[in-house]
Amino acid sequence: MLSPLLISILASIAAFAGGAIALRFRDKLHIILGLSAGAVLGAALFDLIPEAVEIGGGVYSVGEVLALTAIGFFVYLVIDRTFSLHAHHNHDHDADDHAAEARSSGGSLGAASFCLHSLIDGVAIGLAFQASSIIGAVVAIAIVAHRFSDGINTVGVILKHRGINASVRGWLTAVAIAPIVGTLLTFVFSVSSSTLSVILALFAGFFLYIGASDLIPEGHHSHSKIMTTIMTILGALVLYLIVSVA
């Protein structure tokens, strides 16, 4: 039987695995990132939003749930732009030696943002299982896939900013452990159905932003767009089938 703590541990392992593979085969990971993008988007469209509508049906209209999803999307957008979340997309145009320290700080800031993101994903796992084991399982698939890609991205942002191996391992460990911490936090509090509906809608917005602005562009970068597109559609289709069967 699935449990939130077990899923968070699997998410942790996925982050470690993604980081380890990134160190060896980073240039060949577009297919995996494409699949991850589809899984994240599929979780938002086929599970989180419908569940938020169903759980909050007695309190919120469909339009209000969708508005909350939009709020989640734009809140994540503001966080992304303000605090350099997913800083691995930024290109380093200044290659002067005297800027090395600034580049190193930028890598740490980007990796720290992944830690916060991982913590939020851990909370999402715990809260999803509070709704039902089915919701938790589907959310878990998307989060485990996303943690894998974030392991890749954590290594990428540190190496891009000329981080040393010890720095890479340290940040990767922090990002991997964060989901477990987030899930454990949910063991000491619970939420009402109406509140859970809001949270699921907001997380749907987060997932839509992550998939559309992070994973899809990363998978398409300098690689076969046809193959990554196919894998993205496949990832979403797998989530749809899982939700339908459940």
pLDDT in tens, 181-206: 989 988 887 777 888 889 889 989 98
Nearby residues of 180 by Cβ (< 8 Å), 6 or more positions away: 5, 8, 9, 11, 12, 122
Which phi and psi (to 5°) does residue 71 adopt? -60, -45
Which contiguous run of DSSP H or E holds residue 101? helix 100-131
Ramachandran angles phi, psi of 10, nearest 5°: -60, -40
Is the pTM value of this prediction over 0.75?
no
CA gap 124, 143 in Å, rounded? 9
Residue type at 3 in one-letter notation: S
Rounded to an integer, what distance in angstroms lies between the CA atom of residue 227 and that of residue 166? 34
Is the pLDDT at 84 greater than 90, yes or no? no
- For 135-160, what is each residue's pLDDT tens digit? 777 777 777 876 777 787 777 667 66
Element (H, E) at 236: helix 225-245
Amino acid occupying residue 145:
A
Question: Would the pLDDT of 104 be above 60?
Answer: no
pLDDT in the model for residue 101: 45
Query: How far is it between the farthest Cα atoms of the chain?
Result: 60
